[in-house]
Chain A
């Protein structure tokens, strides 16, 4: 069990550029989540997948954000035309759902995005 892996750990980009982050969940986990966290705040839900299906996307999420999980394993989160307000820690988490409501999410180390 290697845990949830996220790459890159840090990303610095200029405003207007596109960025893509990758997340590899724990191998037997079928659910994968993306959260965003800014300093002094709790993680804010962005979207989640069960296998390859994207089941929910935050209503607050701009259409500049898109996520995929094409084969039900790793996932990518892309931000197009980045803005300074996108600067945050992007956290990926995974869980094993067996029809229970008792989700235990395990987080990766996150990708820290800085938009200049």
Chain B
């Protein structure tokens, strides 16, 4: 079992729709959770982080965390073509490093 798992996609949504990206992790002791966006040929860019169970909203982005289910998700409201990218889920497992999932490719169609 991989430490952090994501559906690789691609996930295709129409412009203006809600995109839902999901991630599960295996280490119950994990404490902090991150979403990075990576455009093709570019490096990952931090867009959201969440530490506590529940929802955290920042503009069009909402991160959701359920530690009991070992599940974290990212919702993107009013999706735009510029949101088309690969979204990486990352987990801090109490060590000093982040463990990344394989990423979900999102395509927003005009």
Chain A contacts to B: CB under 8 angstroms: 31, 33, 35, 40-45, 48, 50, 55-56, 91, 97, 101-110
Contact = CB atoms under 8 A, between A and B. Distances in A.
A44 B98 CA distance: 9
B46 A104 contact: yes
B69 interface: no
25 contacts: A33-B97, A35-B100, A40-B102, A42-B4, A42-B88, A42-B102, A43-B88, A44-B100, A45-B97, A45-B99, A45-B100, A50-B96, A55-B96, A56-B97, A101-B31, A101-B32, A103-B92, A103-B97, A104-B46, A105-B34, A106-B46, A107-B45, A109-B42, A109-B43, A110-B43
B100 A42 contact: yes
Contact of B92 (A91, A101, A110): A101
Contacts, number: 64
A46 to B, nearest CB: 9
Nearest to A89: B43
A91 B88 CA distance: 14
Given A45-B99, A48-B97, A102 B92 contact: yes
